[in-house]
Amino acid sequence: MTTTSTCRLALAALYLGATSAWAQADGDPGPSGQSDGAGIGDVSFDFRLRSEFVDLDGVAEDASALTLRSRVTFESATFNRFQVLLEADNISALGSEEFNSTTNGVTDYPVVADPEGTDLNQAWLSFTGDSITLRAGRQTIRHGTERFVGGVAWRQNEQSYDGIRLLWDPNGAFDLDLSYVNRVNRIFGPDDGLNPGAWKGDNLFVRANWALAGNHRLSAIGYLLDFDPQAGYAPGRTVNNSVDIFGAEYIGAFDAFTVNLTWATQQDAGASQLDYRAQLYIAEVIVPVGATTLTAGYEVVGADNGAGFRTPVATLHKFHGWTDKFLAPPGDGFRDTYLIAASRLGPVNLVVHWHDFRADASSADFGSELGASVTWPVNDQLTLLAKYATFSTDDSSRFADADKAWISLQMAF
């Protein structure tokens, strides 16, 4: 069955879900169907000022970016089970642009992917029944840890999706998350630059979750991505990101530790010019030690026929180090062995991580990364963050040493 045919079946399922939700609301909507008493809704503001520094071997200039993300959000009250959310973002560069935003043409500096622009980050209408929520429009979608589908909220321009999403939670022990997406609004937008600002196509996201005995949870995933060609862009930036992904995730909490296991398989799809099948494995153990949480993990990102396992709509900055060396998987895959320590010092959150990267299909040693961050939520409105990561390569023919540092101030009210 082709990806397009499967997406048509998904649309039928979404239609049936909407019909079911509407049937649940027939008659007296009950308390959940009435206004929440907050008038027409709430307006909130969020400002994030961030300084980012990048020193990349092989690039003569160091990047220094000072950017401001300004966000205004309107979330309506719930009326007869309907709700609306509207959210607009503006990203502005302050001072001289000594960085490559991917749209400003300043290519003699390293990339800091925070291009200027104003766009509608979210604009959706939702309808909620007793066990079903249907949401249509532009929206953020985050699945699990965001290893496969996420919002990339680390960047100033968040990733969002245009489509229809169905959430079904019939009994608390099982839930289903089904989305049809025809446009991915990427962090490089709203305008096109070195990368497309958006991908269009027929895409289906499916995640089913089961709560097992005790503190154990099993998830089945299916992501069918079929992106359209775009004039002026090579296949590697467009159609070669079309993939079919199927897999499973398990999270189990035991008395002294927690285990996370993930397996997924992938193959080319749609108009992709690649021909491959690859697999991904993740094994992670999390152990609390007083106020500190220690995480030890091992991830294998496989490859086949010169193409590595790719996750084009994931929040990749959360994985494989903060210097973002592996946003695009190498053709021989890679293995990531990592240790993370997270702790608290009063209200301050501290994180230190170490990663070692090696090829999966060869004996190449790619290098290692060390990083640390400090986050201080001063109060409900103000959060301060300082973060640093350094990557040291063991294969200078393929990777370059890099140092990155961030300081940010975020205000929300």
Q: What mean pLDDT is predicted for residues 190-204?
A: 97
pLDDT digits (tens, 9 = 90+) for 264-282: 999 999 999 999 999 999 9
What percentage of the chain reaches a pLDDT higher than 70?
91
Q: Does the pLDDT value for residue 261 go beyond 90?
A: yes
Does the residue 319 lie in any domain?
Answer: yes
**pTM to 2 decimals?**
0.90
Looking at residue 38, its pLDDT comes to: 53
- Rounded CA gap, 279 and 281, in Å? 7
Q: What mean pLDDT is predicted for residues 290-294?
A: 96
List Cα–Cα distances, 297 to 252, 282, 284, 324, 355, in angstroms: 15, 7, 4, 18, 9
Q: In sequence order, what are the beta bridge partners of 206?
A: 178, 222
pLDDT digits (tens, 9 = 90+) for 20-62: 444 444 444 443 444 444 589 999 999 999 999 999 999 999 9
Does the residue 67 lie in any domain?
Answer: yes
Does the residue 32 lie in any domain?
Answer: no
> What is the tally of structural domains in the chain?
1
- Rounded CA gap, 111 and 402, in Å? 12
Looking at residue 13, its pLDDT comes to: 45
Residues 304 and 278: beta-carbon distance below 8 Å:
yes
For residue 284, the enclosing domain spans 3-25+45-412
Q: List the CATH number of the domain containing 393.
A: 2.40.160.10
Does the residue 80 lie in any domain?
Answer: yes
Does the residue 35 lie in any domain?
Answer: no
* Res. 346 pLDDT band, cuts 50 70 90: very high
Average pLDDT of every residue of the chain: 92
Instruction: Identify which of 403, 407, 186 has the alpha carbon closest to the alpha carbon of residue 316.
Output: 186
Does the residue 38 lie in any domain?
Answer: no
Looking at residue 362, its pLDDT comes to: 87
Does the residue 134 lie in any domain?
Answer: yes
Does the residue 33 lie in any domain?
Answer: no
